[in-house]
């Protein structure tokens, strides 16, 4: 498949470890944030989202933390598996505004070593 991992921040972890992927977002007015996973040769896939009235949200093996003070998001993956190897993107938007755009970060390449 096509490589989208060139020039990206990378994180390499051992299978079974926890992974933390960070994202700094740009717009202090953004109030809705989404994490996407993109495997090689595929389109992005929704993982988890969070609204600005929350600091933390948990899904299956994933947790998203939001720090609005410093405009920072993180995605935590518990017990990382080889199938988690992918590029991870955060995205931000203003859900109630008139600008109906989704702005993506540049992504982080996660490599899980067996």
Q: Quick one: which of 89, 109, 110, 112 contacts another protein (CB under 8 A)?
A: 89
Note whether 40 binds another protein by CB under 8 A.
no
Q: Which residue has the tokens 């996660």?
A: 110
- Residue 102 binds another protein (CB under 8 A): yes
Among 21, 34, 64, 77, binds another protein (CB under 8 A): 34
Question: Chain-centre distance of CA 13, in angstroms?
Answer: 16
Structure token pair of residue 54: 């929350």
Binding site for another protein (CB under 8 A): 2-4, 6-8, 31-32, 34, 41-46, 49, 89, 93-96, 100-107
């Amino acid at each position: 498949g096509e490589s989208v991992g060139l020039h990206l921040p990378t994180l390499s972890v051992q299978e079974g470890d926890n992974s933390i992927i960070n994202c700094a977002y740009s717009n202090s007015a953004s109030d809705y944030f989404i994490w996407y996973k993109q495997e090689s040769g595929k389109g992005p896939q929704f993982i988890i989202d969070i609204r600005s009235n929350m600091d933390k949200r948990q899904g299956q093996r994933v947790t998203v933390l939001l720090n609005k003070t410093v405009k920072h998001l993180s995605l935590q993956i518990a017990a990382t598996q080889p199938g988690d190897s992918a590029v991870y993107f955060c995205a931000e938007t203003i859900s109630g505004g008139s600008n109906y755009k989704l702005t993506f970060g540049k992504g982080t390449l996660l490599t899980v070593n067996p």
